Amino acid sequence: MTAPLGATVTRDGVNFSVFSRKATAVEILFFDREDDAKPTDVIRIDPVTNRTYHYWHVFVPGIRAGQIYGYRFHGPFDPAAGMRFDPEKVLLDPYGRGVVVPKGYNRDAARGHGDSAATAMKSVVVDPTAYDWEGDMPLRRPSTQTIVYEMHVKGFTRNPNSGVGDKTRGTYRGLTEKIPYLQELGITAVELLPVFQFDAQDCPPGVVNYWGYQPVSFFAPHQAYSSCQDPLGPVDEFRDMVKALHRAGIEVILDVVFNHTTEGDLNGPTLCLRGVDNSAYYILEEDRSHYADYTGCGNTLNSNHPIVRRMIVDSLRYWVEVMHVDGFRFDLASILTRDSSGNMMANPPVLWDIESDPHLAGTKIIAEAWDAAGLYQVGSFVGDSWREWNGRFRDDVRSFLRGDDGYVRCFADRLLGSIEIYGHKGREAEQSINFITCHDGFTLNDLVSYNQKHNEANDDSNRDGADDNRSGNCGIEGATDDPEIEKLRNRQVKNFLTVTLMSLGLPMITMGDEVRRTQHGNNNAYCHDDESTWLDWSLLNKHSDVHRFVQLIIRRRLMRDVGPEQRRMTLAQWLDAGIKGWHGVKLNQPDWNTSSHSIALSVQVPSENLLVYFIFNAYWEPLDFEIPPLDQGGSWRRWIDTYLDSPQDIVAWETAPAVPSHTYRTGPRSVVVLWANL
């Protein structure tokens, strides 16, 4: 049968189905082990009786889950016509649910001439129903109660000081063992860097692809992240992790890469799609021997081609329905707005397919709304349900807190959900994903410790990575024992965390920022799988004050009253209900001049009978701010003052001490949050 695509397990065997328009012959190869050079059996699909339209399909009796297999596709090798069939190459099933990787896997063997069977990745037959979810379902947590923690599965527990056993360090199971840490921190969702099977060898010689943004399969969990290395181990261990996270109340969001694959440019390897139907799956240049590259990775997936659109939606459905994930962050999502010629489409079919699919309703979908070819769509990404990584929040908050001139107005707008960007859409405030750091760029510690990137270890003469970091080293480049500089850096870290977690929008923090993880100034550490990128758990003691600071802010944010009415409020409604006024050092006299480095904001929260007063002083001298008068008998209470040493920098909300004066002295480069009952 032609559908469903991939390998479908039945009681009597397995049905295989794959799409290819131009192939002249298709073979399925079965292997006993992943590193076998010869298949144990080969089935040639009959092009007359077992080809329907462009679907090649065959039922093979007696096959069971766990069977290792691959494809050979025969057809023209005619790059000028966009065809690159190579029957010497064993290919992954585009819909394969599992992948095994030989110990001698060799990316180069898939580039040139010769049989790749011994060194090729191979697919695994998976029975999606053969797992006991014990009643688990995606959590569907409201966005108003969501705090995202972006993390790397391996890097989270790979360090020997993680407290995780040797066998499970750096795996899905290792992450599962550290769930109590995530619970104590208070985050409500993990956003996992790519877990689709990727090619770790897709990198310059001498280093490794650590981040995983080089996918080779859109349905299979990355095999190397599993502590169980039998063919079905990664699938079950991933599901064990999801089930455990859900029991802890934590959602699972996947960082997905549907903009390119690891097969690269015309000199890249033939691993899957290139050898199955090159011109359908990729955007080709006018000279069809070359690949269009809007991703900076050598090729661009032809995401609005009907077959590719179906594959993307089928993949998303699979991860939601079978693997129970709660959402997706789409890497370089603006690629999905391009047609087969690379032009931007006003209403890209694939985006509406994703948004309107009833199987994905309620799933969190997040766009990185730009690409590597200059398309930037923050605030204008197509669709009604897409949230966006707000790159302008990152840049403008960095500039303001660094003390740059001309950013007070932008900073104020970012605090309030980026009204100038999103106010016209009539959407909820959580359309904006507010973040200061992510995997790509400086860690939060390095943002306040380095003026320049230091990527020499990447072996590219420090040319890679962003040059516009809007960072500041607080007086000395890199690590220092100077107590005054360390105190300022600690304060700036807390300033950034306060702004991120208290602004209107959906906040995201990055793994290790809560303990000042460092990459020693490397802002493009994609190629380092070592202690320079793994979470150093000793920092939990060294920077326990920052960890505590994050815990207490998150605890208070999750205390907010977010009943059904609040969940449905648009950004404009939130602002109308709560914002009471902007201030400078004098009440109701904000300084909007380009030379201004401070601003204050009063907010009313009627549902909690509460007033909150925020003071942001990015100036290098202390400033005395007037505090709004309260009704007789009322008093302001100090919740946060980042200028103060721990534990006075933040206190438990309910124990906040009273502020006796009508003014508040705000230290240089610090943030203050006061509250009072109405």
- Torsion angles phi and psi, residue 643, rounded to 5: -75, -25
CA distance 378 to 237: 36
Q: What would the DSSP string read from start to end of 58-109?
A: EEEET--TT-EEEEEEE--EEGGGTEE--TTS-B--TT-SEEE--TT--GGG
Query: Before 194, cis peptide (omega within 30)?
Result: no
Are the C-beta atoms of residues 16 and 29 closer than 8 Å to each other? no
The candidate with the shortest Cα–Cα distance to 298, out of 203, 376, 370, 378, is 203
Place of tokens 């080089």: 214
In angstroms, the CA 636 to CA 657 distance is 8
Q: Is 326 a catalytic residue?
A: no
Residue 494 tokens read as 């807390």
Judged by DSSP in three states, 31 sits in strand
In degrees and rounded to multiples of 5, residue 656 shows phi and psi of -60, 130
Say if residues 261 and 249 touch (Cβ distance below 8 Å).
no
Host H or E run for residue 674:
strand 670-677
Cα(214)–Cα(456) distance, integer angstroms = 22
| Residues near 421 by beta carbon (within 8 Å), at least 6 away in sequence | 378, 379, 390, 392, 413, 432
Q: Is 467 a catalytic residue?
A: no
Please list the alpha-helical segments (H only) found in 450-603.
Answer: 483-502, 539-542, 544-557, 564-568, 571-578
* Euclidean distance between CA atoms 544 and 447, whole angstroms: 19
> Could you tell me which residues come within 8 angstroms of residue 325 by beta carbon, excluding any fewer than 6 positions away?
138, 242, 252, 253, 254, 319
From 93, 202, 368, 513, the catalytic residue:
368
Reading the block at residue 660, the tokens are: 């006796």
- Using CA atoms, how far apart are residues 552 and 530, in angstroms rounded to an integer? 31
d(CA 99, CA 220): 6
Q: Which one is catalytic: 251, 331, 396, 446?
A: 331
Q: How far is CA 228 from CA 231, 411, 433, in A?
A: 9, 48, 35
DSSP assigned state of 204:
S
Task: Tell me the C-alpha distance between 377 and 530, whole Å.
Answer: 35
d(CA 496, CA 415) in angstroms, rounded, equals 12
| CB 473 within 8 Å of CB 503 | no
Name the residue type at position 127: D
Give the residue numbers marked as catalytic. Answer: 331, 368
